[in-house]
Structure 1
């Protein structure tokens, strides 16, 4: 019995293209990859490691009074205080969300 199925493994597709066309196609692929890497790197740069009291309260869906009480009870303590500004670490906030 003769099996004449067109499996891509059995019959490779051959395409004729010029050197310039090949270079153009490779450049397009490389450009797409580089753009994706740049987007991912920009997202990492924009990712915050600390949050203000207001941001933290919003993320945790609690009031500023609750944050103050959690600080007193050592449930969630700020990681830094600069002047009158209090900051909470991203990891501590995430741990509280998971609790």
Structure 2
């Protein structure tokens, strides 16, 4: 008796199409996120990069966002990015634009 772990599932054509469309949507969405991320990489910093550059904790970044001191410039999916120019202005002790 061979054990190849094959699982056969009965589904309608409509169910198969729905599953297929869902997978395609996820792939396309991830491609859009990746493309946008690569465009923004030169102009934006991640939360971790921003916190490290400013030598503050992620909690401090969160509090600054709530207080309007330094707000993220973009969100792509669940990722948050800060404007490199604004972070550098904060690093120099300058005024951060609102």
**TM-score, L = length of structure 1:** 0.51
Name the residue aligned to 2:61: 67
Name the residue aligned to 2:44: 50
Alignment partner of 2:75: what SS?
Answer: strand
Matches within 5 A, 1:81-92: 81-92=75-86
In structure 1, the gaps of 5 or more residues are: 1-46
Q: CA deviation at 1:84?
A: 1.0
CA-to-aligned-CA distance 1:25-51 (integer Å, 9 cap, x gap): xxxxxxxxxxxxxxxxxxxxxx82100
In structure 2, the gaps of 5 or more residues are: 1-40, 94-98
User: Hey, which bits of structure 1, 4+ residues long, moved more than 2 A?
Assistant: none
Q: Which has the larger radius of gyration?
A: 1
Matches within 5 A, 1:1-99: 48-99=42-93
